[in-house]
Chains A and B, each alone.
Chain A
Amino acid sequence: MQASPKLARTLSEIRDGWIPAAIYSDPDVFEQERRSLFTRTWQFVAHESELPQNGDYVVRNVLNDSFIVARGDDGVVRAFLNLCRHRGGQVCRTESGNTRRFVCPYHAWSYKTDGTLVGVPYHEEAYGSEAELRKADFGLHAPPRIDLFNGLIFVNLDPAARPLADCLGGFATYLEFYFPAPPRRVELRGPQRWRFKANWKIPAENFSGDAYHTPHTHASTGQIRLVSSAATTNRRAGIIYAIDGGSGATFRLDAGDFAERLRSVGYTDDRIAVLDRSLSPALRSLIEKDGVIPSAGTFFPNFSMLHLWARIDDHGKLAPFTTVRLWQPISATETEILSWFVADADASEEFKENSYKAYLMCFGTSGMFEQDDMDAWVTLTRATQGYLSSSVLLNSRMGLKSDGSALHGPVQTFSGPGVAHLGFNEFNQRRWLRMWADYLEMSPPAPPLPEPHPEVGRPKE
C-alpha cells in the first residue's frame, strides 16, 4: 500500500525537520501508526523481576492487544494473547498476580501458565473428547516474536521482525547503564499508570534527546533546589548521542575523578565500587573522561528511560534514581504512561529507599519534573487540533543552518558509540521522526492473526 499523497508530503517535510502539527493529533496518522508501526516494532511488555516466582503474571497491552506475560511451572517466561481460543473471552481480568490456571469466565476453558489448554468442561459430551478436539491444538496464541535484553521482555507482532539485539544495535551499550548485564540485576517497582491527553510521540521524542526544554520547563526544580545545577541550568554542556535503535541525552558532571563524579550525584561508596567493577569501558569512559552521565533515552519507538538525582532531605542529601516508562497510545490524542522505578537488586535497603524517594519527588504521577512535562505535552496536542493549526509546519531544525548544514559538527572525542553532539539541538528528534516516517511508508504486514500462530497450531488435518 502506498502512503496517501497527503501522508507522503507530510513525511517528506518531516525529513527536512518541518513537522506538520497534525501528526500530533490526526486520527488518520494514528491509524497509519497502528497498522504500520506498532505491528512491527519491538514493544516492551514486562521485566523479568516482575515475575520472580513460577505462576507470576502481568497483563500488558500493545495498543488494543492484551497480552499475559507469565512465568510457567517450568520457570520459562512466555507471553500470550489474553483471549480464550473458544469464544474470545479474556482469560485474565486482573493486571498481575500468581496463579496456576487462567480460566475463561464465559465457558470455563482453562489454561496453564505456559498457555496450554488443560480444561474444557464437558469435553466428551460437547466435543466428542480428545480425538475430536485436541487440547494441545488450542493453547493461548503466542505473539509472533518475544525477545529479551538483560531482563527486559519485548514482543513483536511481525513474524519477520529483526531480532531485538539487531534493532537495539549500539544503543544496547547505553541501555546497559540502566539495565546492566548479569551478574548485576535490577528490580522494577510499579508501574504507576495514568492517562493524559497528549500524543504518544511527544514524550518519545522528548526522551530521545530534548535537553533544550529543561532550563525552562523544569525551572521550578532549580528554584527550589530539588536538583543540583548540572541537571537544569547546565544542560547545554551535556552531550546527546544516537545510534541504531535509540538515542539519548547526558548530563554534564562537575570536575573530578570517576568516584568523585558519581559521589557528586549521590552514589554511595558501595555503589561506586559496584559501578567501578561492572561498567563497560565505554560507559566508564563517558563518566571518567567525557565527564557526562546518561540522563534520558528512547529505544524506538515508545520505550524510554531516565537517570537523575535529587535532594531528598533538609540536609541536602542527594540520591540518584532510574525510571523506565512505556508511552502506550490510547488514541491520537491520549496516552497511557506506565512508569516504573528501577533499583539495583543488591543495593542496600537504605539506598533503594532514598533512590525511590528521589524518583517520587521528580518523576511519575506526582513527580515535580514530570508534572510540568505533562502540561506542555497536553497543550501541544490540544493546540494542533485546529483546521488551521493542524497545517502549521513546526520548526524542528535546531542545530541546522538554513541551508541544512550542521551548525556545529559532531563531538569527535565522545567515548560512547554512535554520533554525538554537544549542547542544544534536535538531531535526535529529527532522527526519531525519520525512523517513524520510514515505518509509516511501509505497508502494514499481513496480520499473523486470526490465522493461528504455527507454534500454537490449528487442528491437524
Chain B
Amino acid sequence: MSPQEAGERPILPFDHPMHLAAHRFLVREAHAQDRHDFETWLTMMAPDVVYQAPVTATTGAGSHKAGEMDHFAEDLYSLRMRVARLKSNLAWSENPPSRTRHFIANVCTCATAKPDEVRVWSAILVFRTQGDGSPDVISGMRDDVLRQVGDELFLVRRMVSLDEAVLRTKNLAIFL
C-alpha cells in the first residue's frame, strides 16, 4: 500500500532526522544482506517482527489479493531457522551463494500513532546471480514499520509487494 492509500500522516521531509535514520537503516540492512551477513541482519529484527511477501495475483479488482497466499510469512523463529539453514553448509540452493544486490530507492517515511515507530516505504530491485547463471531480477515495494529502541531502529513489520505474478527465480532462498 502506498503512503497515499494508507492515509497516514504527511510524508516527513527528506532531511528529517527520523527519515535519515530510516534510510540509514535500509542501507545498512541491504549491505548486510548482500555480504551474506545474515546474523547481523537478524539483529536488526524486532522480537515481534512480521516479515511478509504476499503472492501478487492479477485480479479484476487490482493486482493484489494480500492475505490469501504468501511467498514469505515469517516471524523471528522462522527467520532464524532460515539463517541457521544457510549457515549449515548443507543448503545446496545457496551453495555457492547467490551474489545479490539490493537496490533501494524512492524512500519515504511518515510518523505513526506510536511515537517510537515510523512507517517507511521503499522500492527494491534485487539483482541475483549464481555461478555463471543468467541473472534474475526481483522488483517490488516494501512497506515497513521500524521501531526505535534507544539509538537503534529495528524492523517490526515488512510487507513486500512484488511486481511479478509469476516469479522468475528458481527459489526465494534469499531475503527481500
Contacts and interface: CB of A to CB of B under 8 A. Distances in A.
Q: Do A and B actually bind?
A: yes
Interface of A: 93-99, 189-198, 217, 219-221, 223-224, 226, 312-314, 336, 341, 356-357, 360-361, 364-366, 368, 370-372, 374-376, 378
Nearest to A196: B170
Interface string B76-92: 01100110110010111
16 contacts: A95-B57, A96-B57, A193-B165, A193-B166, A196-B170, A219-B88, A223-B88, A312-B77, A313-B77, A360-B72, A364-B71, A366-B72, A371-B93, A371-B173, A372-B92, A374-B93
Contacts of A195: 166-168
Interface of A is mostly: mixed
Contact of A224 (B85, B167, B169, B172): B85
Contacts of A194: 166-171
B167 A365 contact: yes
A196 B169 CA distance: 6
A341 B70 CA distance: 10
The 4 closest A-B pairs by CB, nearest first: A97-B60, A220-B90, A194-B167, A366-B172
Contact of A360 (B73, B91, B92): B73
B4 interface: no
Interface of B: 55, 57-61, 65, 68-74, 77-78, 81-82, 84-85, 88, 90-94, 165-173
Contacts of A217: 92
A372 B93 contact: yes
Interface centre among A94, A195, A341, A371 (most CB of B within 10 A): A371
Contact of A94 (B58, B71, B72, B168): B58
Given A194-B168, A357-B73, 8 more contacts: A194-B167, A195-B168, A220-B90, A220-B92, A221-B85, A223-B88, A368-B81, A372-B91
A98 B84 contact: no
Given A94-B59, A97-B60, A194-B166, A224 B171 contact: no
Contacts of B71: 192, 360, 364-366
